[in-house]
Amino acid sequence: MSKGGPLMWLILFNGILAAVVFFERLFHYHRAQIHTTDFVAGIINNLKRGNLTEAITVCEGTAGPVAQVVKTAVVHYHRDRFEIRESVQDVARTEVARLERYLPVLATVAQVTPLVGFLGTVTGMIKIFMVIQTTQLATPGQLAGGVWEALLTTAGGLVVAIPTYVAYNYLVGRVQHQVLDMERAANEVLAVISRRPAAAEGAAPGVVNKSKPA
The pLDDT tens digits for 126-159 are 877 777 777 776 677 666 777 777 888 999 999 9
Question: For residue 149, which of 181, 119, 174 has the smallest C-alpha distance?
Answer: 119
Does 211 reside within a domain? no
In this predicted model, which residue has the larger pLDDT, 89 or 128? 89
Does 29 reside within a domain? yes
The pLDDT tens digits for 175-194 are 999 999 999 999 999 998 88
Does 207 reside within a domain? no
Q: How far apart are the first and last CA of the chain?
A: 90
The pLDDT tens digits for 58-78 are 999 999 999 999 999 999 988
Does 189 reside within a domain? yes
pLDDT at residue 19 tops 70: yes
Domain total of the chain: 1
Instruction: Give the structural domain span for 130.
Output: 2-200
Does 213 reside within a domain? no
Does 49 reside within a domain? yes
Instruction: Say if residues 119 and 153 touch (Cβ distance below 8 Å).
Output: yes
Instruction: Say if residues 120 and 152 touch (Cβ distance below 8 Å).
Output: yes
Does 212 reside within a domain? no
AA letter at 198: A
